Amino acid sequence: MSSMSPQIAELIEALPVEAQEVGEPGTTLKELVHALSHKKVPIGRLNRFWILGTLQAKVVAAYMAWWLRSGYASADKKQRTLNETHLKAALKLLGGMTYLRGAVMKMGQIIASHPDVAPEQFADVFGRLFFEAPPMHFSLLREFVRAELGADPEDIFDGFETRAFAAASLGQVHRAYLKGTDQRVAIKIQYPNIARSIRDDYRNMMAFLLPMRLSGDWENMKSQFEGVGRMLEMETDYEQEAENLRIARSTFTEADQIVVPRVFPEVSTRRILTMEYLQGLHLDKFLEAQPSQETCDDFGAKICTAIFRMGYAKRLAYADPQPGNYLFMPDGRLGAIDFGCCYHHTDDDFRHMAEVERAYVEAPEKLRRCLAEACDLTAKQEADDARMKVITDWCEWAWEPLVHEGPFDFGNRGYFRRGVELYGELMRRRYTRSRPVNTWMSKSIYGMRAMLCRLKARVDLKAIHRKESTVLAE
């Protein structure tokens, strides 16, 4: 997926945005962003459910109107009006997701970072959820910061910038200096009530799954979903993220050219995280500079090394490798800056991972049994050849770059599209049984490949994997 073209950006700015919960119909995108910055995160399970339901209805209505209008249109006009409808629907969703923030906004970020998951217009617009999501006006956060740190931020830090330079689903980031030093820091401030909104969204999503409770897969699905709920809760705990940062930072040496920011615990709390500020570009801005293929390949190799090193050496699954979490630094180093979504492998997880890898490489005759265990299948389900074929095909796709000799071309969009289609096939057939750990492993696999696809990187993944996975043989 390429960065947003100037033509698309101009069209987005010109389109009217309807978002009744934050502004009147006809609001421009700039006015919408300004209005959102002065709105608190809505709380209350029914309130958030109603807003989301209204938003879905607006999107459905937009496509119904297109269908009615385009019945007798020419093919060219039909495609043009469909593209315009994609843009208008994406803008409606952008406004709603930004207003709701939390888990709902995270879904938009997933769409933005994965090529071919949704129409290109959605990905272009949702890309703003990474880098241009409107921060809350600081007047809404000042009292919250005072309660957490015991004083106004201007009294605790030097040169505190009240205007946030980054905003995302759970919080926003401000620049400052540690008091009396030249150490520049990034201060991540959680939105007030965001933890409650996460719990509300989780309960709403759980309600959608209740019709499945009579199926034989309910207990497995419930276990997976409870794991998602725990992860979302954990992402609102900045003390846990600080520990993840400490573990990750200890993983790399200066020679790796992979940088994880240092945490300053004396000015951090459960809801405020103060880190070393890293200077660099996010993916879109980096690609706008038209870097050489060699540079893209080098950064691609660093992304893969970072994920494998943390996973094997520290048993830390970096489950959110998306564009907003990396910085491409001017000296060639890679910055990894967000560690809220990390899964800590248990001994059983690690044992199982080793068994699957050994079976895939050394004993193919054992692979079916290992995959059945990975999917928590009953004996009857394991004997279902149709189910096992789709599971095996997906695993073959995931492993393809790991057995390829030499650099693998991740810029081949066909490869990534095939993985999306296979995952879609698993969902359509309701082959959802899995060990909970695979939720985060799959997220990491797709996230890493999506990043490499956008970089058009060519990476010798087999060599990197061989080097970093030696711990499995110990």
Q: Is residue 310 part of a domain?
A: no
Tokens of 34: 């300004």
pLDDT digits (tens, 9 = 90+) for 155-211: 999 999 999 998 777 889 999 999 999 999 999 999 888 887 777 777 776 766 666
- pLDDT recorded at residue 194: 81
Q: Is residue 198 part of a domain?
A: yes
Please give the share of the chain, as a percent, with pLDDT higher than 90: 44
- pLDDT recorded at residue 30: 57
Q: Is the pLDDT of residue 231 over 60?
A: yes
Q: Is the pLDDT of residue 132 over 60?
A: no
Domain end marker among 85, 110, 131: 131
C-alpha span between 315 and 474 (Å, rounded): 14
Same domain, 15 and 108: yes
Confidence of residue 214 (pLDDT cuts 50, 70, 90): low
Same domain, 123 and 215: no
pLDDT digits (tens, 9 = 90+) for 415-438: 998 998 898 898 888 888 988 888
Same domain, 226 and 123: no
C-alpha span between 105 and 86 (Å, rounded): 18
Domain end marker among 233, 258, 288: 233
Q: What is the mean pLDDT of the chain?
A: 80
Q: Is the pLDDT of residue 20 over 50?
A: no
Q: Give how far Cα 219 sits from Cα of 210, 214, 229, 443, Å.
A: 11, 10, 15, 21
Confidence of residue 27 (pLDDT cuts 50, 70, 90): very low
pLDDT digits (tens, 9 = 90+) for 344-402: 999 999 888 888 888 888 888 889 999 999 898 988 898 999 999 999 999 999 999 99
- pLDDT recorded at residue 129: 47
User: Do residues 104 and 29 touch, judged by C-beta distance below 8 A?
Assistant: no
Query: How long a stretch of residues is the chain?
Result: 474
Name the phi and psi angles at 42, rounded to 5: -65, 140
Enclosing domain of residue 212: 194-233
Q: Is the pLDDT of residue 453 over 80?
A: yes
More confident call, 228 vs 74: 228
13 class by beta-carbon count within 10 Å (0-12 exposed, 13-18 middle, 19+ buried): exposed
User: Do residues 97 and 37 touch, judged by C-beta distance below 8 A?
Assistant: no
User: Do residues 61 and 53 touch, judged by C-beta distance below 8 A?
Assistant: no
Q: Is the pLDDT of residue 19 over 50?
A: no
- pLDDT recorded at residue 24: 41
More confident call, 458 vs 374: 458
- pLDDT recorded at residue 1: 38
Q: Is the pLDDT of residue 48 over 90?
A: no
Which neighbouring-strand residues pair with 334?
Answer: 258, 328
C-alpha span between 39 and 21 (Å, rounded): 10
Q: Is residue 112 part of a domain?
A: yes
Q: Is residue 43 part of a domain?
A: yes
User: Do residues 458 and 410 touch, judged by C-beta distance below 8 A?
Assistant: yes
Q: Is the pLDDT of residue 411 over 90?
A: yes
Q: Is residue 221 part of a domain?
A: yes
Among 19-33, 228-242, 283-297, 304-318, where is mean pLDDT lowest? Answer: 19-33
- pLDDT recorded at residue 25: 41
Structural domain count of the chain: 2
User: Do residues 468 and 312 touch, judged by C-beta distance below 8 A?
Assistant: yes
- pLDDT recorded at residue 318: 94
Q: Is residue 423 part of a domain?
A: no
Confidence of residue 281 (pLDDT cuts 50, 70, 90): very high
Confidence of residue 463 (pLDDT cuts 50, 70, 90): very high
Q: Is the pLDDT of residue 45 over 60?
A: no
pLDDT digits (tens, 9 = 90+) for 78-102: 666 656 655 566 666 566 666 666 5
Q: Is residue 1 part of a domain?
A: no
pTM of the model: 0.77
Q: Is the pLDDT of residue 29 over 60?
A: no
Same domain, 100 and 13: yes
More confident call, 357 vs 22: 357
Residue at token pair 């520290």:
314
Q: Is residue 58 part of a domain?
A: yes
User: Do residues 98 and 105 touch, judged by C-beta distance below 8 A?
Assistant: yes
Same domain, 122 and 199: no
